[in-house]
Amino acid sequence: MPRIVECVPNFSEGHSKEVIEGIAKAIVTTPGCSLLDVDPGPSTNRTVYTFVGSPEDVVKGALAGAMAAAQLIDMAHHRGEHPRIGALDVCPFVPVQEVSMAECVDCANKFASALAETLNVPGKLDTASLNKHHFLQTHCQSVLTFFCSYQIHKFLPAIYR
């Protein structure tokens, strides 16, 4: 069976068709990534993308989406029901098939490192101080959203224009 991870990044744009499609194109053109859904929310001015692939491919797809967002989203003019700190709000990695939650934490770490290196923004996910296996067994998917949203909010403001 193939190893499958789902990635559900939330980008801070829910109106501009050009921006929404630009981010989708960045994800879709990443080899090994299959885009399952694009759900724009005009009132929140946020779009949720859902895509799957191997652990390695979804990290690359998330990075491609974040790089597109850095070019396309101007946070200086962002308005919506929920305040945003960065063009990428959260980026959870969810195990689907033949992948453990610990491996998804690894995906989040690799994504944060690549994002920091590629976009020259400081920060890196740090889960080493947690007893992650116990914590992950009890908190499942929501913990990754917390790791990603908490840590990414610390360094994504640097991609504002």
62's enclosing H/E stretch is helix 55-72
Q: Got the DSSP string for 96-153?
A: EES--HHHHHHHHHHHHHHHHHHHT-------TTS-HHHHHHHHHHHHHHHHHHHHHH
| Annotated catalytic residue within 15, 77, 78, 82 | 82
Q: Is 82 a catalytic residue?
A: yes
* b/e 18-29 (16+ beta carbons within 10 angstroms → b): ebbebbbebbbe
Residues serving a catalytic function are 82
